[in-house]
């Protein structure tokens, strides 16, 4: 299994897969091998079907199932060159749910409830730029261009680079953070080991801060990204600009924020209001 894992890791790297995606795929195959107690090289379609049924029985979300299936398709389709074994796998459809969005005041309450300065600045950075959690956690000091007022996202989803805005408020906050914390180069937000912060720690911090603030919503780091996009829409920012800032490949991913923008919905005039009224 160790040799197979190393080969699959090399194939993923050659394919340009993001580091996080590589980790998810490798962990999935490890669990698959552990479930059967054998190397995937020695397993057939019968065992793959059993694993797929097991995953469905665990009640996993459609997103998690897609990740597990994608890992199997990569292993058997690419690394082992036996795509016929996984040809039956179909990506499950996910229920379309509206993202959780906070008001501006609620965002402020959550940020104020984070008692560790480092995490408060990290969350403010996500809200102020729309960065993905992984992008924010792996932000480097050299990515911040104060003169041009932009942040260079070097390893976005799919390996794509982009620029996002750097507001004067965020720049001031980052400079204060640098002065107080002196993070270990090259990372802006470092863990105790000196590497970039992990998303799991940030999730726990936000859950605690949300509880302290008394807000009855499930708030994650990705919620702050949702808030960034929705609040920009309510300010009148063009959807295509927001698409670029978020790094969305399709405008359809961006338009869903218009569905949760209470500002836009409230401004929409009902046809009932246009009916003539009688005296």
Catalytic residues: 132, 157, 222, 225, 248, 257
Give phi and psi for 149, each to the nearest 5: 60, 45
Helices 104-112 and 199-213 cross at an angle (nearest 10°) of 110
**Which candidate, 55, 67, 61, 60, places its Cα nearest to that of 22?**
67
Give phi and psi for 188, each to the nearest 5: -80, -40
Give phi and psi for 143, each to the nearest 5: -80, -15
Alpha-carbon span 115 to 137, nearest angstrom: 18
Tally the residues of the chain.
Answer: 279
* Contact of 65 with 55, CB cutoff 8 Å: yes
* Contact of 168 with 261, CB cutoff 8 Å: no
Alpha-carbon span 153 to 140, nearest angstrom: 9
- Strands 162-165, 150-153: parallel, antiparallel or unpaired by DSSP? antiparallel
């Amino acid at each position: 299994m160790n040799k197979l894992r190393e080969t699959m890791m090399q194939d993923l790297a050659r394919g340009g897969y993001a580091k996080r995606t590589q980790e998810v795929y490798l962990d999935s195959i490890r669990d698959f091998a552990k479930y059967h107690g054998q190397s995937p090289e020695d397993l057939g379609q019968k065992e793959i079907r059993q694993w797929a049924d097991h995953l469905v029985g665990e009640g996993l979300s459609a997103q998690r199932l897609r990740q597990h299936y994608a890992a199997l398709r990569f292993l058997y389709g690419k690394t082992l060159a036996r795509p016929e074994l996984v040809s039956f796998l179909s990506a499950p459809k996910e229920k379309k749910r509206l993202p959780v969005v906070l008001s501006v005041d609620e965002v402020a309450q959550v940020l104020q409830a984070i008692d560790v300065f480092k995490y408060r600045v990290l969350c403010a950075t996500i809200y102020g730029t729309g960065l993905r959690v992984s992008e924010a956690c792996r932000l480097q000091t050299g990515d911040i261009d104060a003169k041009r007022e932009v942040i260079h996202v070097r390893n976005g989803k799919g390996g794509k680079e982009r620029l996002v805005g750097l507001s004067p408020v965020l720049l001031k906050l980052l400079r204060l953070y640098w002065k107080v914390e002196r993070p270990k180069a090259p990372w802006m937000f470092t863990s105790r080991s000196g590497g970039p912060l992990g998303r799991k720690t940030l999730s726990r911090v936000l859950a605690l801060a949300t509880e302290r603030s008394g807000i009855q919503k499930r708030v994650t780091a990705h919620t702050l990204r949702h808030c960034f996009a929705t609040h920009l829409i309510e300010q009148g920012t063009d959807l295509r600009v927001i698409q670029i800032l978020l790094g969305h490949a399709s405008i359809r991913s961006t338009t869903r924020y218009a569905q949760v923008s209470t500002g836009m919905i409230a401004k929409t005039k009902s046809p009932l209001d246009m009916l003539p009224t009688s005296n």
